[in-house]
Amino acid sequence: MQMWLDEGLDLGLPDITGVEYLRDMMGPEGLGWCTFEPMGGAAPHSWSEIDAFSRAAGIQLEPWEASQLRAMSVAYVEGMARGGEPMKVSPAYEDCPEEDPGIPAERRRVSQHLKAGLSVLAGT
C-alpha cells in the first residue's frame, strides 16, 4: 500500500468524513486493525475485544460504532489475505478491476527488477 501512496495512486477507499475517529481507534495506540495469532495469522477483533477496548478506554460506543469497528477489522483481515498476492486486483477495485492502478505499478516494479538483474548478468 505504501508503494501506491508514494506514487500518488488513488486507493479507491471510501470517504469517511465525519467518522475519522473510528479509523483513529483502529490505530496502534488504540484497538489496532486486527489480532495476530501465535502462529502468525491475522484474525479480526472479536466482539469481546471491542467491548474490552471501549471499557478500558472509557469510550461509550454506540451499537453502530461497535459494529463498524468489527466490520473494519474483518475487512482489513480479508484485504490483507487478498492483497498479499501480487498481480491480483486490489480488494478496493474488485468491482472495477480495469481501473486498478496497482497492476500497472506492480508490472513496472517487476520490470525494473528484471532489467536490473539482466543488466548485472550481462555485465553492463
Q: What is the mean pLDDT of the chain?
A: 81
Instruction: Look up the pTM and report it.
Output: 0.62
Residues whose CB falls within 8 Å of the CB of residue 93, separated by 6 or more in sequence, listed in order? 12, 99, 100, 102
C-alpha distances in Å from residue 34, one per residue of 37, 42, 53: 10, 6, 13
- The yes-or-no verdict on residue 62 having pLDDT over 90 is yes
Structural contact between residues 115 and 121, judged by C-beta atoms closer than 8 angstroms: no
pLDDT at 17: 83
Question: 115 or 91: which carries more pLDDT confidence?
Answer: 115
Domain coordinates in residue numbering, the chain: 2-122
Which pLDDT band, with edges at 50, 70 and 90, does 46 fall under? very high
